Chains A and B, each alone.
Chain A
Amino acid sequence: AQKVTQAQTEISVVEKEDVTLDCVYETRDTTYYLFWYKQPPSGELVFLIRRNSFDEQNEISGRYSWNFQKSTSSFNFTITASQVVDSAVYFCALTLGGFQKLVFGTGTRLLVSP
């Protein structure tokens, strides 16, 4: 069975600080897909990024960056120079593809104060 662990329940930072959200996953399959979603107070899950298991290239998108390491089964998410608008719950998720479900972690609540 697949499992996603987000050990950080809540993180509080001051604006402009960098913050890293951790995600550790478990699967015996060699093909899988990892995701990060953002859930603001409105409730909608906003897709941020997808990473395929066969592509370990890290990615940067503006202030966001993702570090995927198969050796440690981790897919961490870093926000550089955090802003108040980054305050939300962030979920890491995994799927095996096909019609397999998304397995979510428990989420990390990020609070960015001015």
Chain B
Amino acid sequence: KAGVTQTPRYLIKTRGQQVTLSCSPISGHRSVSWYQQTPGQGLQFLFEYFSETQRNKGNFPGRFSGRQFSNSRSEMNVSTLELGDSALYLCASRPNWGQTSGRSAYEQYFGPGTRLTVT
């Protein structure tokens, strides 16, 4: 099975702009989560989507938003970029409850990330 894919891998944006990142989960996975990784704050949870609905949200300002499509692909958007938004954005997907692949629905599988630099 192909893993989680994220596009683009690298982005350079200017302060004040907006950006959209894309994530395609492992085939058959319906849950997608997003995490931000920075040297100062470490790995922080942004939000999780399941069947096109946001199920959980982290402590980030409203400039950070996301959505999920019917094919489980997800996008996250950051508006009015700030220097502090420079980070590695990681997307993860996980198996659905009831899948008999031997994996747990709580195991999250991560993509390679999108490295966003805001100048």
Interfacial residues, chain A to chain B (CB-CB below 8 A): 33, 35, 37, 42-47, 50, 52, 91, 93, 95, 97, 99-107
- The residue in chain B whose Cβ has the minimal distance to the Cβ of A100 is B56
**Contact partners of A33 in chain B: CB under 8 A:** 104, 106
* Contact A101 B58, CB 8 Å, known A43-B113, A107-B42: yes
**Contact partners of B33 in chain A: CB under 8 A:** 101-102
Asked if residues A102 and B45 are in contact (CB atoms below 8 Å), the reply is yes
- The residue in chain B whose Cβ has the minimal distance to the Cβ of A33 is B106
Q: Which interface class (under 10, 10 to 19, 20 to 34, 35 or more) fits B?
A: 20 to 34
Asked if residues A50 and B45 are in contact (CB atoms below 8 Å), the reply is no
Asked if residues B55 and A44 are in contact (CB atoms below 8 Å), the reply is no
Asked if residues B50 and A99 are in contact (CB atoms below 8 Å), the reply is yes
Asked if residues A50 and B104 are in contact (CB atoms below 8 Å), the reply is yes
Give the interface SS of chain B, mostly helix, strand, loop or mixed.
strand
- The residue in chain A whose Cβ has the minimal distance to the Cβ of B90 is A45
Cβ-based interface call for B64 (8 A) = no
Interface string of B70-94 (1 = CB under 8 A from A): 0000000000000000001010100
Asked if residues B48 and A104 are in contact (CB atoms below 8 Å), the reply is no
Asked if residues B107 and A35 are in contact (CB atoms below 8 Å), the reply is yes
Further pairs besides A101-B48, A106-B42: 8, Cβ < 8 Å? A35-B107, A37-B110, A44-B113, A45-B110, A47-B107, A99-B48, A101-B58, A102-B35
Cβ-based interface call for B111 (8 A) = yes
Q: 25 A-B pairs, CB-CB below 8 angstroms?
A: A33-B104, A35-B107, A37-B110, A42-B112, A43-B88, A43-B112, A44-B90, A44-B113, A45-B90, A47-B108, A47-B109, A50-B104, A91-B43, A93-B43, A95-B106, A97-B106, A99-B31, A99-B48, A99-B50, A99-B55, A101-B33, A101-B56, A101-B58, A102-B43, A105-B42
Interface string of B98-110 (1 = CB under 8 A from A): 0000001011111
